[in-house]
Amino acid sequence: MNELGASFSILRNSAIISYILKGIVFTLIISTLAVVLGILIGSILALVRNYCTSKKTRVFKVLATIYIEVFRNTPLLLWIFICIVFCPCPELFATSMFGLTSVETKLLFKGSMALILFTSSIIAEIIRGGLNAVPQGQFEAGHSQGFSTVQTMRYIILPQAYRNVVPTLLSQVITTVKDSSYLANVATIELMARVKKLLSSANHYNGTGTINVSDVFVLFGVAAILYFCINFSLSLVVRRMQKGRTAATHMR
Amino acid sequence: MSELFSVDAWEKVWHYRSTFFLGLGNTVKTAFFGVLLAFVLGILFGLMATSSKKGLRWISRIYVEVIQNTPVILQMCFLYYALAFSNHSVSIIVTGILSLGIYHGAYMAEVIRAGIESIPKGQFEAAQSQGFGYIGRMYYIILPQSIKIILPPMVNQIVNLTKNTSCLYIVGGADLISLTYSFVTGVNTGGAYAPAYLVSGLLFFVICFPLSMIAGKWENALKKRERTMVTQQQKGEVNAT
């Protein structure tokens, strides 16, 4: 019981609290960035894979398919390792900022690159699902109204496709928040890595001079609660949306 | 990138090929037993989620929500360090099997719950009225009908579990990715980045791609059948009016 009290005393240290809070901010920024850029790249990939079917553009479809399948069937950690070696890093990110050293910002940039590439392949498949759910008649209707193919896409197909996939995209945000913890393998930037680092030096903070089991429970427990709060609130939104949707389809 | 075409680097990879096979073996072993555990947990909690007892439903709900909303790396670290600091250390592979099994068990439970809930309630009542017990009802009536809905997402979970074996890196790692990493950063073996990553990526791809292909095919077939069923229903409604 004494050890448990000592472990909780770690959390009374304001420097440690702010250290953990910074980790949450980084986790949120990295995952938001990954999802937003993932939607951008993923949309292009999905459109290319679905609609570049003519002889001239076929090669793009094949390339997009290869990209999507390769990223979906290999682990994220492999891509993080690959990006750390091979991804070029612009000078802008090779300086120290956001309270990170220059080495860490470099790793942050490269790791986020890997996460963005990986997430975009998954989001591409999600958006493709949305595109496929739009009935073929919508294209014909668009064309018959004098819309060009691009206009049909822009004003008729894409809005419906995005509307279809909003809940799935939101659950992908949850997955990305969780996936951002993979960066803990290479750098101490986001929440998971920071908590792990705190654990390895817990003997300096809890006053007992050793790392105890209770430290593991308290520190990882705090991290778990934080992740849970972020993700559970998102999943509540998803569930509410899906409920509204099924109600709407039943009304029709 | 240049070492991708250097003969030396490829020779190095070939010379240390046993490292890759060892990693592949560990990954497959972890994935296999992890899938088994996930399967058992998934069936157990999936059935609990659809039971008529509120307490069981709540237990299943809490398990699924807590596990699905926290990262698997966190769970793995928690398990590993909690056991290590309380002097019950287990091997890395066992840690992997346990944590991946528990993590994907939550997803399997959701898959199975969705499968069972997709069966109309009348089927349960009909089975009950014919004198089937709980197990007979599930096995003979519900399972054959829901298996088509359950299988595609379940195969996807197997793919994800195989990919997630790479998480073991954070607790010391014995799986393919971790061994590849220690190969490319090792003192004697280091340097052959591109060939080594290519090989281990390829090995993962060879395992995962066929599985996700099958899952995708099944899913599409299912969707197509659903769509034709809906259009048939709509036609029926039109005819009726």
Does the beta-carbon distance from B85 to A213 stay under 8 Å? yes
- The minimum CA-CA distance between A216 and chain B, rounded to whole Å, is 6
Q: How confident is the model over A8-60, as pLDDT tens digits?
A: 777 777 888 888 888 899 899 999 999 999 999 999 999 888 887 788 888 88
A37-41, A72-76, B170-174: least confident range: B170-174
Q: In this complex, do B74 and A223 lie within 8 Å of one another by their Cβ atoms?
A: yes
Q: Counting Cβ atoms within 10 Å, is residue B69 exposed (0-12), middle (13-18) or buried (19+)?
A: buried
The answer to whether residue A249 scores a pLDDT higher than 70 is no
pLDDT in tens, B6-38: 777 777 778 778 888 888 888 898 999 999 999
- Residue of A72, A220, A231 lying closest to B212 (CB–CB): A72
CATH of residue B80: 1.10.3720.10
Nearest neighbour of B170 by CB, restricted to A85, A179, A185: A185
Minimal-distance CA residue of chain B relative to A225: B70
For residues B17 and A207, the model is more confident at B17
Res B1: pLDDT: 56
pLDDT in the model for residue A1 = 52
Q: What is the pLDDT of residues B1-11, one digit of tens each?
A: 556 667 777 77
Q: Where are the alpha helices (DSSP H) in chain B?
A: 7-15, 17-49, 54-68, 72-85, 92-117, 121-129, 134-136, 143-164, 176-185, 193-240
| Residues in Cβ contact with B1 at an 8 Å cutoff, skipping those fewer than 6 apart | A86, B194
Q: How big is the A-B interface in CB pairs under 8 Å?
A: 110
Residues of A with CB under 8 A from a CB of B: 69-70, 72-78, 81-82, 85-86, 174, 177-179, 181-182, 184-185, 192, 195-196, 199, 211-213, 215-217, 220, 223-224, 227-228, 231-232, 235
CA distances from B218 to A239, A249, B178, B225 (A): 26, 25, 33, 11
How is chain A split among helix, strand and coil, in percent rounded to 5? Answer: 85, 0, 15
pLDDT score recorded for residue A148: 85
pLDDT for position B21:
86
Q: What pLDDT, on the 0 to 100 scale, is given for residue A15?
A: 82
pLDDT tens-digit profile of B83-107? 888 877 788 888 889 999 999 999 9
Mean per-residue pLDDT, A145-161: 86
Domain ranges of chain A: 2-251
Nearest to B85 among A211, A228, A235 (CB): A211
Mean pLDDT of A57-81: 89
Per-residue pLDDT, A116: 93
Note the pTM of the prediction, 2 decimals.
0.87
Q: Measured between CA atoms, how close is A65 to chain B, in angstroms?
A: 12
pLDDT digits (tens, 9 = 90+) for A80-135: 988 888 878 777 766 777 777 778 888 888 888 999 999 999 999 999 988 888 88
Find the domain containing B164 and state its range. 2-240
Structural domain tally of chain B? Answer: 1
Asked whether the predicted pLDDT for residue A69 surpasses 70, the reply is: yes
Sorting pLDDT into bands at 50, 70 and 90, what band is B240? low
**Per-residue confidence (pLDDT) for residue A166, from 0 to 100:** 86
pLDDT in tens, B180-219: 888 888 777 667 778 888 888 888 899 889 988 898 888 8
Contact call for A216 and B177, based on CB within 8 A: no
Please give the CATH topology (third level) of the domain spanning A2-251: MetI-like fold (1.10.3720)
What percentage of chain B has pLDDT greater than the value 70?
Answer: 93
